[in-house]
């Protein structure tokens, strides 16, 4: 009878109108804020993940997990993961394996235990308000914010019900504030491990930022939530894990390393759901954002040297193209994809410059400095069979390096297809936002000198065909 009662409790959500915390309750070490932006075709997979989260949290009392979930009316009718099927936006506290529906007011107005509110999770104000809610009502020594959805590098979390609205890299820092900064910013999504993203989300006064970024440079599958959260059980032997012992207090570096290790184990053991080439192409890492500003300085110095040396032909040959490239190019698994993603591993590209006598002595020395600087950013990483020679803790962070002057089947140049990669506010084009600090910092627009990596790409690839000032993206280097 007790087992039956426990099963019923685990399957059904609880409702709680009050978020007040007993003042005698000690502050948690961690509050984990999970932003389930699955008003898209990732919903079905994520509902499976929610069930895994609840299994992993059984017996865990030292961790708060808050879930804001926006579901779709189209892809899943799952009523088991959270106790009922729905197609709107709801807020849950997932603690000890129990799903408790809670009020989100006042930070999330209109979101109550009885509401049928449709929030736009592609709007950064919703993300900001969710973080504010979590910090106010569930204070902790450390905060992790994880966004679960689709990702493409400059954008993530598409909300189909709200016109496909998405979150963009600079939208985080335009809308969220320093008060919403977190210890760990994680993306359970593809292709978000760009050095441009990492630089945008570093900590500095007055801006949203994080200490560590967790993200994949490639296509990816779900995080192994059950294994991750099992580490917080009071008895390590109950977790079934082998790489880490349960610790009562994990700092951001250790927690990030734990997550990377569990992702690595999941993929290595074939539990990620991927097979063949897609599994071989996976790559995941944790990145120390306190080191990313120095990495930018080193990459920009290399860019200036490559421009001075006129090394475009040599660097393009080194880059290669698609799945056959010797340099780590993070691409879609499909060989006949219309547009290869313009993401090239920073450290691997620089290592290859170092070893190529076709580049000047100065360029090779600057590339070596860039390798060392990127190595300091990549705290932990894992890459699989496609990336021959992948070095954990060095590789796994990409930068934007388009495939060159070739045109897509749609008639656009590869540079024109990356209109989102800009220091300017890009308002006229769909799926673009711009305002990358990586692109603007260190540059002097209009001085006709290459000052940083972005300007090197713009100088090489933005060839205006209509005489328009600034070429296809409106920027004059």
List the chain domain ranges. Answer: 26-291
For CA atoms 40, 166, 156, 146, the dihedral sign is negative
Q: How confident is the model at residue 12 (pLDDT cuts 50, 70, 90)?
A: very low
Structure tokens at 110: 């209109």
Mean pLDDT across the stretch 51-75? 94
Lowest mean pLDDT among 50-64, 84-98, 246-260, 435-449: 246-260
Q: Which residues pair with 215 in a beta bridge?
A: 285
Closest CA to 30 of 201, 258, 238, 235: 258
Please determine, for residue 415, whether its predicted confidence score (pLDDT) is greater than 80. yes
Report the alpha-carbon distance of residue 53 to residue 61 in Å, rounded.
Answer: 14
* pLDDT at residue 239 is higher than 90: no
CATH class for the domain made up of 26-291? alpha beta
Q: Is 26 exposed, middle or buried (0-12, 13-18, 19+ CB in 10 A)?
A: exposed
Which is higher by pLDDT, 203 or 464?
A: 203
Q: Of 313, 296, 315, 320, which Cα lies nearest the Cα of 364?
A: 315
Q: Which two tokens stand for residue 80?
A: 């088991």
Work out the average pLDDT over 380-400: 97
Rg (CA), the chain: 23
**413 pLDDT above the threshold of 90:** no
- The rounded distance, in Å, linking the Cα atoms of 461 and 446 is 16
pLDDT at 8 over 60: no
Among 66-70, 91-95, 103-107, 269-273, name the one with the lowest average pLDDT: 269-273
- Interval 116-141 mean pLDDT: 96
Of 21 and 438, which is predicted with more confidence? 438
Closest CA to 143 of 126, 127, 131: 131
- Specify whether the CB–CB gap between 439 and 426 falls below 8 A: no
Structure confidence at residue 6 (pLDDT): 31
Report the distance separating Cα 5 and Cα 160, nearest Å: 38
Question: 451 pLDDT exceeds 80?
Answer: yes
With a pLDDT cut of 90, the percent of the chain lying above it is: 74
C-alpha–C-alpha distance, residues 297 and 302, integer Å: 9
Q: Are 201 and 289 in contact (CB under 8 A)?
A: yes
Give the model's pLDDT for residue 248: 53
Map residue 266 onto helix, strand or coil: helix
Label residue 274 by pLDDT band (50, 70, 90).
confident
Q: Is the pLDDT of residue 236 over 60?
A: no
For residue 322, the tally of other CB atoms under 10 A from its CB is 15
Number of H helices, E strands in the chain: 14, 15
**pLDDT at 15 > cutoff 70:** no
Residue 278 pLDDT level (bands cut at 50, 70, 90): confident
Strands 283-288 and 378-383: antiparallel
Looking at residue 244, its pLDDT comes to 47
The whole-chain average pLDDT of the chain stands at 89
On whether the CB atoms of residues 398 and 406 are closer than 8 A, the answer is: no
- The Cα–Cα gap between 128 and 408 comes to 37
Work out the average pLDDT over 144-166. Answer: 95
Which pLDDT value is given to residue 24? 38
| The pair of three-digit structure tokens given for residue 33, joined into one six-digit string | 């804020």
Under DSSP, the state recorded for 164 is T
- 44, 160 contact by CB (below 8 A): no
Cα gap 111→461, rounded to integer Å: 47
The stretches of 70-201 forming alpha helices (DSSP H) are: 124-137, 169-175, 195-200
Q: pLDDT category, 3, cuts 50, 70, 90?
A: very low
Q: Nearest 5°: phi and psi at 41? A: -80, 5
Q: Structure pTM?
A: 0.92
pLDDT at residue number 226 = 96
Terminal C-alpha separation, the chain: 73
CA distance 261 to 436: 30
Peptide bond into 106 cis (omega under 30): yes
Q: What is the pLDDT of residue 337?
A: 55
CA-wise closest residue to 33 among 83, 104, 87, 81: 104
Q: What percent of the chain has pLDDT over 70?
A: 87
* Residue 276: predicted pLDDT: 73
b/e code 407-420 from CB counts within 10 Å (16+ = b):
eeeeeebbbbbbbb
């Amino acid at each position: 009878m007790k087992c039956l009662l426990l099963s019923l409790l685990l399957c059904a959500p609880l409702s709680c109108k009050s978020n007040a915390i007993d003042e005698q309750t000690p502050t948690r070490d961690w509050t984990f804020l999970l932003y389930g932006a699955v008003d898209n075709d990732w919903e079905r997979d994520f509902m499976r993940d929610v069930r895994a989260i609840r299994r992993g949290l059984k017996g865990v009392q030292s961790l708060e997990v808050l879930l804001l979930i926006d579901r779709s009316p189209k892809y899943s009718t799952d009523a088991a993961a959270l106790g009922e099927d729905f197609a709107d936006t709801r807020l849950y506290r997932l603690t000890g394996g129990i799903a408790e529906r809670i009020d989100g007011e006042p930070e999330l107005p209109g979101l109550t235990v009885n509401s049928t509110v449709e929030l736009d999770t592609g709007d950064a104000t919703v993300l900001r308000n969710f973080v504010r809610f979590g910090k106010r009502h569930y204070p902790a020594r450390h905060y992790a914010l994880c966004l679960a959805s689709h990702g493409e590098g400059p954008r993530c979390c598409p909300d189909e019900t709200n016109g496909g609205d998405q979150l963009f890299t600079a939208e985080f820092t335009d809308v969220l504030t320093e008060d919403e900064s977190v210890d760990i910013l994680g993306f359970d999504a593809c292709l978000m491990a760009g050095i441009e993203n990492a630089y945008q989300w570093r900590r500095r006064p007055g801006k949203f930022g994080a200490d560590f970024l967790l993200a994949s440079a490639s296509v990816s599958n779900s995080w192994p939530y059950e294994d991750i959260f099992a580490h917080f059980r009071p008895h390590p032997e109950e977790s079934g894990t082998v790489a880490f012992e349960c610790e009562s207090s994990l700092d951001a570096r250790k927690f990030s390393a734990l997550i990377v290790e569990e992702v690595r184990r999941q993929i290595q053991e074939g539990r990620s759901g991927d097979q063949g080439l897609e599994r071989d192409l996976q790559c995941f890492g944790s990145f120390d954002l306190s080191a990313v500003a120095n990495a930018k300085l080193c990459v920009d110095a290399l860019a200036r040297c490559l421009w001075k040396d006129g090394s475009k032909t040599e660097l393009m040959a080194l880059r290669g193209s698609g799945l056959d490239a010797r340099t780590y190019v993070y691409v879609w698994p499909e060989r006949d994809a219309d547009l290869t993603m313009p993401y090239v591993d920073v450290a691997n590209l620089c290592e290859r410059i170092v070893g190529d006598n076709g580049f000047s002595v100065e360029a090779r020395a600057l590339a070596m400095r860039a390798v060392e600087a990127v190595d300091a950013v990549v705290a932990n990483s894992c890459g699989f069979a496609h990336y021959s020679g992948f070095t954990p803790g060095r590789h796994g962070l990409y930068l934007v390096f388009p495939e060159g002057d070739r045109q897509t089947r749609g008639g656009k140049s590869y540079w024109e297809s990356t209109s989102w990669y800009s220091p300017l506010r890009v308002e006229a084009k769909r799926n673009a936002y711009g305002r990358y600090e990586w692109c603007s910092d260190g540059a002097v627009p209009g001085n006709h000198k290459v000052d940083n990596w972005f300007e090197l790409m713009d100088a090489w690839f933005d060839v205006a065909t209509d005489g328009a000032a600034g070429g296809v993206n409106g920027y004059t280097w």
